[in-house]
């Protein structure tokens, strides 16, 4: 007889239904995102050296300290959930390596204290903490935020900034952004020359086309830029890992990047001195912090819409905003400020997509 009531065994659990659970869990999600960011971060450190380490370490330490200061006195212990570490890391990765060390410290502090903990901590903030922190830095330390560390090739500013100033100076030539950069004398690396020389000579030669100088640098991430945003391949690898693990959802980055690319192609031409429908989408996609923002900041579940339709709308809005801000705005490369504006739209998108968040919009029963 194995009757548990009489067998002197442990008492039966009395927990409420449902008694089974889906396999997904929030535990450790943030740590997975941290892990997926490390390769891109390592690339940035390899390019920019000890300065990059300093910036990221200060950002990380400030975020952790701010989280500890705002939670431990209230007997909440949230450092283990990894969200503060993630915020500090992303803040650091959005910054140029040459930035004054006040910037990562203040940005992380602002991110954790003002953007997150003021609202009650993880899950209650409506703006992504890292986005808020970097935006604060961009608005506060404009000059410092443009202090790049030059590469061995001699490139001292990101290709995107160089393109902007070349165009502003009226030096537009036909042939797309890389042609403009080359005409303006932007230095690319030796690796770029040899790799492209080989590709153009051996693979594409008989087609009578050739990749413009700089293509290899831009694609591989051998360029000046924010610490964590230069290496497109490593960012995409990290994103693929997260997508495969089901940590982030694909709708937002896909809608975001697709809408941005279409707009850049269709409407971006005139801005680079060409006609309509000739914009260089690929160069724009790979430049600046777009990939970092699209895969690692826009997908933050806390600050993205609840429903699938809402996520499509959000991604689309981000694509449009980023296009407008990158071509016409003056706050960084337009990604961070678009994310901030997009975050602000999320509650509205939720109301529109679910129709159930405001009493006046409550669904009729039935």
Partner 1 sequence: MSIAAILVTFALVDNVVLSLLLGVNPPQGVPGSLRRALGLGASLATLACLASLGAWGADTMALVPLGLDFLRTPVYVFLIAGLAWLLRKALQRFAPRLLPSVSFPEAAVNAAALGVVLIIRHGSYTAAEGLVAGLAAGLGYALVMAVLSAIRLRLEVEQVPRAMRGLPLQLVSAGLLAFAFLAFDRAFLARVLGG
Partner 2 sequence: MSANRERRSAILVLSLLPAAVASTRVIDALFMAAGVVFVLMAMSLVLPLARRFGRAASEPSEASTGETLPREGSHAASLWGALLLSSCFTAIYELVLNAVAPAESSRLGIYVPLIAVSFLTMGRLDALGVSGTARRVAVEAMRAGAAFSGLLVAVTLVREVLGAGSITLGAAVGRAPFFRDPARALGLAGGALICLGYAAGALRLGGRRGAAKRKEDQR
Partner 3 sequence: MRTRGLPRAGVIPPDNSLVPRGLAIANAAVPSIAVIPLLQHQGPPALCLVRPGDHVREGMLIGKADGPLSANVHSSIPGLVLEVPSIELPGGTRSDAVVIELGGEFDRSGKPRLTRSWESLSRLDLLGRIQAAGIVGLGGSLIPTHLKLATAPGAGVGLCVANGVDSEPSLSADDALMRLKAVEIAEAMRMCGKLLVAQRLVLAIGENQDDLVASFERIFREKGVACDIVVVPSRYPYGHEELVMASVDGSPAAGPHESRGKVINVATLHAIYEAVALDKPMIERVLTVTGGAVAAPRNLKVRIGTLVGDLFEECGGFSRPPAKIVVGGPMRGSAVPSPDTPVTKGTAGVVAFSRAEARPRVAYPCIRCGNCVEACPWGLVPMRLHKLVQQGEADRAMEEGLARCTECGCCAFACPSNIPLVVSLREGKKAAGRGAHV
Nearer to partner 2 by C-beta: 135 or 218? 135
139 binds partner 2 (CB under 8 A): yes
Please, which residue, 169 or 360, has the CB nearer to partner 3? 360
**174 binds partner 3, rule: CB under 8 A:** no
Q: Count Cβ atoms below 10 Å from residue 302 Cβ, excluding itself.
A: 16
Q: Which residues contact 18 (CB under 8 A, 6 or more apart)?
A: none
| Nearer CB in complex with partner 1: 51/302 | 302
Block residue for tokens 């492209």: 196
181 scored as a contact of partner 2 (CB under 8 A): no
Calpha distance 272→110 (Å, rounded):
36
Calpha distance 45→291 (Å, rounded)? 18
Report the nearest approach of partner 2 to the CB of residue 101 (Å): 9
Q: How far is the CB of 276 from partner 1 (least distance, A)?
A: 13
Q: Is 140 in the site for partner 2 (CB under 8 A)?
A: yes
Question: Alpha-carbon distance 314 to 342, whole Å?
Answer: 7
Which one, 128 or 189, has the nearer CB to partner 2? 128
Peptide bond into 178 cis (omega under 30): no
| Tokens describing residue 159 | 């290709």
Residue 12, exposed/middle/buried by CB under 10 A (0-12, 13-18, 19+)? exposed
Q: Is 331 one of the binding residues for partner 1 (CB under 8 A)?
A: yes
Q: What is the radius of gyration, based on Cα positions, of the chain?
A: 23
We find the least distance from the C-beta atom of residue 243 to partner 3, in angstroms, to be 15
Return the half-sphere exposure (C-beta side, CA atoms, 13 A cut-off) of residue 30.
Answer: 17
Residue 115 DSSP SS3: helix
**Contacts of 179 by beta carbon, 8 Å cutoff, 6+ apart:** 173, 212
Interface with partner 1 in residues 257-286 (CB under 8 A) = 270-271
Binders in 144-173 for partner 2, by CB under 8 A: 144
Contact mark string toward partner 1, 346..365, x via CB under 8 A: -xx-xx-----xxxxx----
Closer residue to partner 1, CB minimum distance, 137 or 215: 137
CA 91 to chain centre: 10
Return the one option of partner 2, partner 1, partner 3, none that residue 84 interacts with (CB less than 5 to 8 A, by type): none
Kindly identify the residues of this chain, within the stretch 299-358, that bind partner 3 according to CB under 8 A: 301-302, 304-308, 311, 354, 356-357
The correct pick among 26, 118, 194, 307 for binding partner 1 (CB under 8 A) is 118
DSSP-assigned states of every residue in 10-47: PPPP-PPSP----S---TTHHHHHHHHHHHHHHHHHHH
Binding residue for partner 2 (CB under 8 A) from 106, 227, 229, 292?
A: 106
Separation CA 45–CA 58 (nearest Å): 14
Residue 286 in contact with residue 219, Cβ under 8 Å? yes
Size of the site for partner 1 (CB under 8 A): 38
Eight-class DSSP state of 113? I
Among 33, 44, 81, 283, binds partner 3 (CB under 8 A): 81
What is the closest distance, in whole angstroms, from the C-beta atom of residue 41 to partner 2 in the complex?
24
Q: Which residues bind partner 2 (CB under 8 A)?
A: 100, 102-103, 106, 114, 118, 136, 139-142, 144
Q: Which residues bind partner 1 (CB under 8 A)?
A: 114-115, 118-120, 123-124, 126-127, 132, 135-136, 139, 270-271, 325, 327-331, 334, 337-338, 340-341, 343-345, 347-348, 350-351, 357-361
Q: Which residues bind partner 3 (CB under 8 A)?
A: 2-5, 9-27, 29, 81, 121-123, 301-302, 304-308, 311, 354, 356-357, 359, 362-363, 365-366
């Amino acid at each position: 007889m194995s009757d548990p009531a009489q067998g002197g065994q442990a008492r039966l659990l009395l927990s409420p239904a449902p008694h089974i659970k889906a396999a997904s869990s929030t535990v450790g999600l943030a740590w997975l995102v941290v892990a997926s960011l490390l390769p891109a971060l390592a690339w940035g450190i390899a390019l920019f050296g000890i300065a990059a380490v300093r910036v990221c370490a200060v950002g990380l330490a400030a975020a952790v300290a701010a989280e500890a200061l705002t939670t431990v006195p209230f007997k909440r212990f949230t450092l283990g959930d990894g969200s503060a570490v993630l915020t500090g890391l992303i803040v650091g990765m959005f910054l140029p390596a040459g930035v004054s060390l006040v910037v990562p410290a203040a940005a992380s502090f602002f991110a954790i204290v003002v953007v997150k903990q003021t609202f009650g901590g993880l899950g209650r903030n409506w703006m992504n903490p890292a986005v808020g922190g970097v935006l604060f830095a961009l608005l506060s330390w404009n000059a410092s935020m443009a202090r790049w560390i030059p590469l061995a090739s001699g490139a001292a500013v990101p290709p995107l900034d160089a393109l902007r100033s070349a165009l502003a100076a009226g030096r537009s030539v036909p042939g797309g952004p890389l042609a403009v950069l080359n005409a303006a004398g932007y230095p690319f690396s030796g690796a770029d020359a040899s790799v492209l020389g080989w590709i153009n000579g051996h693979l594409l030669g008989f087609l009578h086309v050739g990749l413009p100088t700089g293509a290899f640098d831009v694609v591989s991430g051998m360029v000046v830029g924010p610490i964590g945003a230069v290496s497109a391949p490593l960012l995409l690898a990290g994103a693929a890992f997260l997508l495969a693990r089901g940590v982030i959802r694909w709708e937002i980055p896909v809608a975001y990047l697709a809408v941005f690319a279409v707009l850049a192609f269709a409407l971006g031409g005139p801005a680079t001195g060409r006609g309509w429908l000739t914009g260089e989408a690929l160069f724009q996609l790979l430049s600046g912090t777009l990939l970092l923002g699209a895969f690692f900041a826009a997908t933050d579940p806390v600050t993205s819409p609840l429903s699938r339709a809402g996520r499509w709308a959000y991604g689309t809005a981000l694509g449009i905003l980023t296009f407008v801000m990158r071509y016409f705005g003056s706050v960084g490369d337009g990604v961070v400020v678009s994310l901030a504006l997009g975050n602000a739209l999320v509650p509205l998108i939720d109301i529109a997509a679910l129709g159930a968040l405001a009493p006046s919009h409550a669904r009729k029963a039935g």
